[in-house]
């Protein structure tokens, strides 16, 4: 079974702090994703990465950056945390299918980090 592990289940930080959320997957997946999940909204993609050191912006990248130095680890960074970044953050990974298509592959999620910015 694929295991995606997020470093913290709950995190409380202050406005203006630099915040690091870590995610590790153990199945050698090429693709990794960071989402935020807010009540009444669908998952929104922040960033994704299809290879080591590669990253692509998602729908809401503003205020965030990412790092993927190793294949198994994908970090999300809040450069200067603000209260509107209080949310549930979900990390996911997936394989790349035949023909280089990752969009038809299921994503495997971590349990999430509930982040509160005070």
Partner 1 sequence: GQNIDQPTEMTATEGAIVQINCTYQTSGFNGLFWYQQHAGEAPTFLSYNVLDGLEEKGRFSSFLSRSKGYSYLLLKELQMKDSASYLCAVTDSNYQLIWGAGTKLIIKP
Task: Find the binding residues for partner 1 in span 78-107 (CB under 8 A).
Answer: 90, 101-104, 106-107
Based on CB atoms, which residue is closest to partner 1, 25 or 75?
25
Shortest distance, position 39 Cβ to partner 1, whole Å: 9
Task: Find the binding residues for partner 1 in span 29-88 (CB under 8 A).
Answer: 40-45
* Token duo for residue 31: 């693709």
Shortest distance, position 15 Cβ to partner 1, whole Å: 26
- Tell me the C-alpha to C-alpha distance, in Å, between residue 26 and each of 35, 57, 105: 19, 24, 17
Q: Give CA–CA dist 69/55, Å, rounded.
A: 11
Based on CB atoms, which residue is closest to partner 1, 13 or 44?
44
Q: Which of 4, 21, 46, 117 binds partner 1 (CB under 8 A)?
A: 4
Based on CB atoms, which residue is closest to partner 1, 90 or 115?
90
Based on CB atoms, which residue is closest to partner 1, 62 or 101?
101
State the DSSP code for 51: S
Question: Strand order in 4-6's β-sheet?
Answer: 4-6, 19-25, 73-78, 64-70
State the DSSP code for 16: T
Q: 109 pairs with which residues across the strands?
A: 92
Binding footprint of partner 1 on the chain (CB under 8 A): 4, 40-45, 90, 101-104, 106-112
């Amino acid at each position: 079974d694929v295991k995606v592990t997020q470093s913290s289940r709950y995190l409380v930080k202050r406005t203006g702090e630099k915040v690091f959320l870590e995610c590790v997957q153990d199945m050698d997946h090429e693709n990794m994703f960071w989402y935020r999940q807010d009540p009444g909204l669908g998952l929104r993609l922040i960033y994704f990465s299809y290879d080591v050191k590669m990253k692509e912006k998602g729908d809401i990248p503003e205020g965030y950056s990412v790092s993927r130095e190793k294949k198994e680890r994908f970090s999300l960074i809040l450069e200067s945390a603000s209260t509107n970044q209080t949310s549930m953050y979900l990390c996911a990974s997936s394989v790349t299918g035949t023909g280089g298509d990752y969009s038809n592959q299921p994503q495997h999620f971590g349990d999430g980090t509930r982040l509160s910015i005070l």
